[in-house]
Amino acid sequence: MSKVCDLTGKKALKGNRVSHSNHKTKRRFYPNLQTKKFFIPETGEFITLKVAASTIRTINKKGITACLNNLFKEGKI
């Protein structure tokens, strides 16, 4: 299963793990992904999406239909 947000496309970043002696080794920073069901009132059905926690906050603020319509306009879906 890929670690990518279904709506925003957020994915893992690369960086360094830095020890006390300033020794650097590669590591990855993963987004805070959650599997969540959303109800779409226009169609009367549920959809299950894997979204980042910050995206859930945006959906709670704007609404799921507004977020989906915005993605359709941008051509991401």
User: What CATH number should be reported for the domain holding residue 27?
Assistant: 2.30.170.40
Domain that holds residue 31: 13-74
- Assigned domain for 50 exists: yes
Residue 22 lies in a domain: yes
- The pLDDT assigned to 77 comes to 64
Which run of H or of E encompasses 18? strand 13-18
Element containing residue 26 per DSSP (H, E): strand 24-29
DSSP letters of 31-75? --EEEEEEEETTTTEEEEEEEEHHHHHHHHHH-HHHHHHHHHHHT
Number of domains in the chain: 1
Q: What is the pLDDT of residues 2-56, one digit of tens each?
A: 899 999 899 999 999 999 999 999 999 999 999 999 999 999 999 999 999 999 9
Q: Is residue 38 part of a domain?
A: yes
Instruction: Report if residue 35 sits inside a domain.
Output: yes
pLDDT range class, residue 73, cuts 50, 70, 90? confident
Task: Flag whether 51 is in a domain.
Answer: yes
Give domain status of residue 6, yes or no: no
Q: Is residue 45 part of a domain?
A: yes
Give me the pLDDT at residue 18, please: 97
